[in-house]
Amino acid sequence: MTRLPKLADLTPNITGWGFFLCTRKESRSGRSGAEYLEITLQDVSGEVRAKVFQDVETVKLEFDAGEFVKAQGRSNVYQGRLELILDRIRRVLPDRDAADGFKEDECIRCAPRPVDEMWAELTAAVASVEDPALREVLAAIIDRHADRLRVWPAARTVHHAYRSGLLEHILTMMGVLVFLGDRYGARRDLLIAGALLHDIGKLQELSYDTATDYTLEGNLVGHIVIGVGMLHEAVRDRPGIPAALVTELEHLIVSHHGELELGSPVRPMTVEAFLLSAVDDLDAKLHQVRRHLDEDDLPGRFTAVNRRLERSLLKPSTP
């Protein structure tokens, strides 16, 4: 039996095996009384829902959510989405499976750009900040949180919900903001700071190992307020940074959802804050649009309805 292609390239009616990360495993009992497993598998390129109907009693002991697995089965379209019906699945035996090509990194869904390249771009952007006190604070923040900032997802499910997704989101926004700031006469330093800081609270709002979840603090306080606390921490011992500048940075974090009903306790009141919230919304929305277009498997010119966007999308015709 052959190896399955990357999940992003999977098509219906393909049989084969592959290595994956299992990020969800639920036991369900159908109405007929029979138990089956519904699980989620991912590799570096995407994720897929999979089901096990046979030998459930035995199979379910052979792996858990959060583990790397070797799985074998057949792709199938169910209710307009691709899924895998598995014949076999077991946890990876690193020593043995290495021989067949198992590599952890290839089983974890990840941003498309290499993380080192992104990190270098972030470092360069911070170094280009003109105000020395601000530059120092931002440098300290990325230094202190480097471990998480390199790998964290930007969200649990909505957009950039994969390894290094937050970094990808920050950099895309930064590029767009610098361009727009030039057009609309905004202060470049604040835009770079805003792109970096606006979602910094997600490093504590979310837990991320191979799976992503909300922390206690994330649920009860939320990334906006957490982020302001992280900024405070960074400026505490730096008397050089003026209070009014800190307040503007806080404002950028606090207002970046744009409207109260979207979770910002204060709405944008500076040119930079208007730009930041508009670009954050744009980047998140376009990411969802692109992903929905990529993942749709329905025939016809239009996709299925996307529940979050509340609409179908037109698939671009081939060029």
Half-sphere exposure of 41 (CA within 13 A, CB side): 35
Which member of 1, 2, 13, 33 binds a copy of itself (CB under 8 A)?
33
Q: Which two tokens stand for residue 296?
A: 């749709």
Taking a C-beta distance cutoff of 8 angstroms, is the pair 139, 196 a contact? no
Least distance between a copy of itself and beta carbon 265 (Å)? 5
Which member of 6, 96, 301, 308 binds a copy of itself (CB under 8 A)?
301
Q: Where are the beta strands (DSSP E) in the chain?
A: 15-29, 35-43, 46-52, 68-78, 81-91, 206-208, 212-214
Which member of 49, 90, 150, 285 binds a copy of itself (CB under 8 A)?
285
Closest CA to 307 of 287, 290, 292: 292
For 200, residues 6+ apart whose C-beta sits below 8 A from its C-beta are 141, 145, 223, 227, 230, 231, 253
Q: What one-character-per-residue DSSP string does 101-126 give?
A: T--GGGGS-B-SS-HHHHHHHHHHHH
Is residue 128 at the binding interface for a copy of itself, with CB under 8 A as the rule?
no
CA 118 distance to own-chain centroid = 15
Show the binding pattern over residues 213-252: x = contacts a copy of itself (CB under 8 A), - = does not: ---xx-xxxx-xx--xx--x-----------x--xx-xx-
Residue with structure tokens 């959060």? Answer: 66
Is residue 144 at the binding interface for a copy of itself, with CB under 8 A as the rule?
no
Is residue 93 at the binding interface for a copy of itself, with CB under 8 A as the rule?
no
The residue (of 53 and 119) whose beta carbon lies closer to a copy of itself is: 53
The residue (of 2 and 317) whose beta carbon lies closer to a copy of itself is: 317
The residue (of 6 and 301) whose beta carbon lies closer to a copy of itself is: 301
Where does this chain bind a copy of itself (CB under 8 A)?
28-34, 36, 53, 78, 172, 175-176, 179-180, 183-185, 187, 216-217, 219-222, 224-225, 228-229, 232, 244, 247-248, 250-251, 254-255, 260-267, 269-271, 274-275, 278, 281-282, 285-286, 289-290, 293, 301-302, 311-314, 316-317
